[in-house]
């Protein structure tokens, strides 16, 4: 797939010295590149893989999408949170039956978790969960204010993951979360860049 030539080097120099014109230059060069490559059948596959990489992966899910507020937990043991409402699942790597995101390609990923809980009784509220990779805790979200009836917490991490790793959010025993179609509890991840 080596199609670098003098024009591409010139474009690179122009973009480095005049970034404002870089976008237009790139579009113009891509059109020229498409014309050149599609005229040679043997290079068409190379072009398609360079323009449409198979490594795209992104998902964003919420606990549910029901109108009335419903809570999950507390339980006497830790439980994987199964997010049922899917905003996007590019690459189909998030399973909304199990709650696991199976990493499709080795690389650096951005993962974000937001949890929320509310109670109407006079008890201490514990909203807590942890982000896990292959059952190992990566980060913990914990909110136990005691001064009000609702709590929330968010966490964002960038992490190196390997193809086949299983990522999930685990509700910690004794804690609970609540959601409705306002989507207070979300789990989002996407590939920043591949490393293989």
Give the model's pLDDT for residue 151.
81
| 101 and 43 share one domain | no
Give the model confidence (pLDDT) of 85-138 as tens digits.
999 999 999 999 999 999 999 999 999 999 999 877 666 668 899 999 999 999
Residue with tokens 């390609």: 105
> Does the pLDDT of residue 189 top 70, yes or no?
yes
Give the model confidence (pLDDT) of 134-184 as tens digits.
999 999 998 876 566 778 899 999 999 999 999 999 999 989 999 999 999
* Residue 108: inside a domain: yes
Give the model's pLDDT for residue 147.
64
| 73 and 111 share one domain | yes
Please count the structural domains in the chain. Answer: 2
| 136 and 65 share one domain | yes
| 73 and 165 share one domain | yes
Give the model's pLDDT for residue 123.
66
SS3 state at 74: coil
Give the model's pLDDT for residue 44.
46
Give the model confidence (pLDDT) of 10-63 as tens digits.
555 555 555 555 555 555 556 566 566 555 544 544 444 444 455 689 999 999
Strand segments, DSSP code E, in 38-144 are 58-62, 70-72, 79-80, 85-90, 101-102, 107-118, 127-133, 136-143
* Residue 16: inside a domain: yes
CA distance to 69, 89, 91, 118, 167, per residue, from 164 (Å): 34, 17, 13, 35, 10
d(CA 47, CA 50) in angstroms, rounded, equals 5
* Residue 188: inside a domain: yes
* Residue 1: inside a domain: no
Helices (H), the chain: 6-17, 22-38, 44-51
| 72 and 131 share one domain | yes
* Residue 117: inside a domain: yes
| 41 and 70 share one domain | no
Structural domain harbouring 187? 58-194
* Residue 32: inside a domain: yes
């Amino acid at each position: 797939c080596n199609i670098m030539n003098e024009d591409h080097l010139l474009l690179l120099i122009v973009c480095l010295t005049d970034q404002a014109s870089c976008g237009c230059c790139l579009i113009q060069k891509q059109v020229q590149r498409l014309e050149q490559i599609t005229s040679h059948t043997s290079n068409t596959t190379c072009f398609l893989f360079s323009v449409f990489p198979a490594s795209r992966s992104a998902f964003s899910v919420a606990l549910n999408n029901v109108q009335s507020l419903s809570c999950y937990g507390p339980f006497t043991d830790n439980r994987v949170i199964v997010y049922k409402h899917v905003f996007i699942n590019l690459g189909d790597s998030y399973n909304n039956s199990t709650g696991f995101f199976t990493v499709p390609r080795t690389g650096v990923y951005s993962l974000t978790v937001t949890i929320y809980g509310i109670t109407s009784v006079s008890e201490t509220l514990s909203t807590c969960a942890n982000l896990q990779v292959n059952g190992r805790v990566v980060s913990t979200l914990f909110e136990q204010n005691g001064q009000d009836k609702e709590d929330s917490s968010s966490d964002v991490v960038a992490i190196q993951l390997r193809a086949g790793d299983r990522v999930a959010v685990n509700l910690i025993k004794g804690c609970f979360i609540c959601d409705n179609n306002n989507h207070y509890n979300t789990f989002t991840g996407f590939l920043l860049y591949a490393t293989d």
